[in-house]
Amino acid sequence: MASAFQEGLSVTWWFALLAAPFAGSFLFVLVRRLPAGRPALWSRSQCESCGHRLGPLELLPIASFLAQRGRCRACGARIDLAHLAAELIALLIAAAVVATGSEGLELWGGCALGWTLLALAWIDWEEGYLPDALTLPLTVAGLVFASWLVPWTLTDRAVGAIAGYLGFRLLAALYRALRKREGLGQGDAKLLAASGAWLGWQALGNVVLLAALLGLGFAFVARARGQSLNATTAVPFGPALAVATFVLWLTQAAAEQYQIHGFGQLMIG
């Protein structure tokens, strides 16, 4: 029975890994079209250079890029490497969720969280804002998944969402009063609300601390690459918040799975 269970579980994991590049391909389209106000769901994929509509084989993630050597079959224009990068990163996100031992709704919830955070981080890094079209549904999704999977934590998640948003709005107001300029956008507050909805209020301090350290790391890398930074330089905080949220979710999920399965195996042994 145990081997059958593990076999079924491995099929679920493989399905998530196979779905991940398709999710990454869609996320790349979303990242490019959402900030421009273009439809991402109902319009067909096409070459950005010549408008050639992609056929089924051209829509296969990773494989089609390699088979076409990174060029459009119709006009020969180079396909943006970021498209391949999005597919590979989405695959890595799914692999990280699988590595926690999560299954069922928790597995797909973790993947959805990671993929949405990837899109948010990408848009904020390139465009400098976090769209409500992603942050608000992500917050609601965190509460919905909590009500399905761990209903006893729903109050903590709801408090986390409220505290995350109000805490960052208060911090932004204090910064504006002291420095006479904006320091944190509303998008950052909404993303922290989503973090609270997925992790609970108890994790918010760790999210902010890890995000701050990551933000300093991003700034250091940018400075090392020759980018000029000073006290007035606007540095997107969303990517750091997104990475911190996902890392802490992975930590929580892995700890929960260890308590369920690891301790059980110890007791049996």
Say if residues 188 and 241 touch (Cβ distance below 8 Å).
Answer: yes
Give me the helix-helix angle, 204-224 and 154-179, nearest 10°: 50
Amino acid at 57: L
Task: Please state, in angstroms and as integers, the Cα–Cα distance from residue 61 to each residue in 21, 94, 123, 211, following that order.
Answer: 6, 15, 21, 31
- What pLDDT, on the 0 to 100 scale, is given for residue 254? 92
pTM of the model: 0.88
Radius of gyration of the chain (CA): 20
Say if residues 45 and 54 touch (Cβ distance below 8 Å).
Answer: yes
Show pLDDT as tens, one digit a residue, over the chain (269 residues): 334 334 445 788 889 999 999 999 999 999 998 988 887 776 667 777 776 777 777 778 898 888 888 887 778 778 889 989 999 999 999 999 999 989 889 999 999 999 999 999 999 999 999 999 999 999 999 999 999 999 999 999 999 999 999 999 998 888 777 776 776 778 999 999 999 999 999 999 999 999 999 988 877 877 777 776 665 666 789 999 999 999 999 999 999 887 776 644 433 33
Tokens representing 191 are 């993303």
- SS3 assignment for the chain: CHHHHHHHHHHHHHHHHHHHHHHHHHHHHHHHHCCCCCCCCCCCCECCCCCCECCCHHHCCCHHHHHCCCECCCCCCECCHHHHHHHHHHHHHHHHHHHCCCCHHHHHHHHHHHHHHHHHHHHHHHHCCCCHHHHHHHHHHHHHHHHHHCHHHHHHHHHHHHHHHHHHHHHHHHHHHHHCCCCCCHHHHHHHHHHHHHHCHHHHHHHHHHHHHHHHHHHHHHHHCCCCCCCCCCCCCHHHHHHHHHHHHHHHHHHHHHHHHHHHHHHHC
Domain map (residue ranges) of the chain? 1-99, 104-269
